[in-house]
Structure formats: C-alpha cells, structure tokens
Homo-oligomer: A and B are copies of this chain.
Amino acid sequence: MDQQRWQKAMEWPLVVAALVFLVAYAWEVIADLQGSALILAEVIQGLTWALFLLDYGMNLYLAKPRAAWFRSHLFDLAVVVLPMLRPLRALRFVTLLRVLDRTAGVAFRGRITTYVAGAASLLIFVAALAVLDAERPAPGAAIKTLGDALWWAVVTVTTVGYGDEVPITPQGRLIAAALMFCGIALLGIVTATFAAWIIEKIAVQDAAQQAATVAHIKDLEAKIDTLHEMISTLRR
C-alpha cells in the first residue's frame, strides 16, 4: 500500500473522527462535565486523537523518502504530539480545522463566499469553546458562559476588540492571539474577494478595447497560413 492510497482511504474516517472530537469536546466544555461523563468525553477525544496519531505514523511509515517527509512535516508532528501536554490542549483544534478544511475544500470548491462564511463560523465556535475551557476555572475571568465566549470570539475575529471580555490566562491569550491573526486573514480574504470582483466589474466593457487573446492570435495565424499556401501554389 502506498501513501497516496492511504490518504485517500483515510479522508472520510478522519473527517468523521474530527466531527466526533468536536462534538465530544463541545459537550465537555459546554456542559462543564464532571465525574464519569467527563471520563467518557475524554476517552472519546482520546480515541479520535489516537486515529490522528495513527494517521501521522502511517504517513511517516509509507512516505518514500521518509526523512524528507519528516522534515517537511514538522508542523504536523508538533500539532499531533504537543496537545498531550495539558496546557497545549487547544492545539488539537489545529488538526481538527485542517481535516475539516481539506474536505470543505472539496465540497465548496469555487464558491469562495460560502467557504469563507463556513470557515469563519467554525473558527468562531472552536475558538469560543477553547477559550471557555481555558478561562472558566480561572478566578476573576470574564468569560464564564458559552454566550460570553461566542460574543468574545466575534468581537475579536472582526478586530473590533471592545475589551469588555478579555482572556486572562496564558492559554486563553494564546488562543486569542491565534484568533486575531485569523481575523486579519479573514479581513484580507473578504477585501481581496471584493477587490477581485470590483476590478473585474470596472474592466473595460467595449469589446474593441479588451486585451487581445490567444484566440485572436490563432485567427491571425490561420489567415497567414492561407497566404502561405496561396504563395506556394504561385511558385509551382
């Protein structure tokens, strides 16, 4: 079995695992689970995590120049291994977002507006969950409910930043920093989409003023070829 077939076969299992992980994590964080329910949610997350680890391991095993693949996928390694350290739990979402992103890319190809809206919604929800998880136990934290966390995530990702609710734990601030840079990227993508659309709209409408295309050149070539033939018959 080669690496490409493995990746193809794992595409959907990984998406399902990512969704299961998201649901289990959301349940744990929103319901603020305790006791056996908490253990169940953690076990489910652990199992899906094991699948991501397995996928990384198999990819490493199957990669042809293994050392080269390892070197060019250090970020994958970090994202799979680091969340084992409890303070870096939020890093699990990077893997989640990457898996969902890959499939979303398949589903929404070409419809950039739908794709950006979907990615932004998922990002806001996931950031709200992660920050709620990090902040709730901290004394004096402002973000204590899912509503607060969602409100904070929207205020942050749009770069409005009222400051009425601000993370105060190191983990919460790391998540916030990541969300801010995503906000800049979001702004960039929205602007760029408008720019592409406007530049297209204001492009010269008069056909005679449009740029000459390859099709036009082909027409000219055909005419010159005819001339060529005509002169050839003249010479005979």
Contacts and interface: CB of A to CB of B under 8 A. Distances in A.
Interface in A192-236: 192-200, 202, 207-221, 223-228, 230-235
Interface string A69-106: 00000000000000000000000000000000000000
Interface residues of A, number: 66
A46 interface: no
Contacts of A166: 162, 164
A127 interface: no
A30 interface: no
A7 interface: no
A109 B62 CA distance: 33
A193 B184 contact: no
A149 to B, nearest CB: 12
B199 A199 contact: yes
Contact of A235 (B180, B207, B234): B234
B197 A190 contact: no
Given A191-B188, A192-B191, A230-B228, A180 B155 contact: yes
A172 to B, nearest CB: 10
B221 A228 contact: no
A63 interface: no
Nearest to A117: B181
A173 interface: yes
A32 to B, nearest CB: 20
Nearest to A231: B230
Contacts of A3: none
Tell which of A162, A170, A219 has the most Cβ of chain B within 10 Å.
Answer: A162
B112 A198 contact: yes
A185 interface: yes
A162 B163 contact: yes
A187 interface: yes
Nearest to A177: B154
Given A160-B160, A209-B214, A228-B230, 15 more contacts: A158-B180, A161-B163, A162-B163, A163-B164, A188-B193, A188-B194, A191-B191, A195-B196, A208-B213, A210-B213, A212-B212, A216-B217, A227-B228, A230-B231, A233-B235
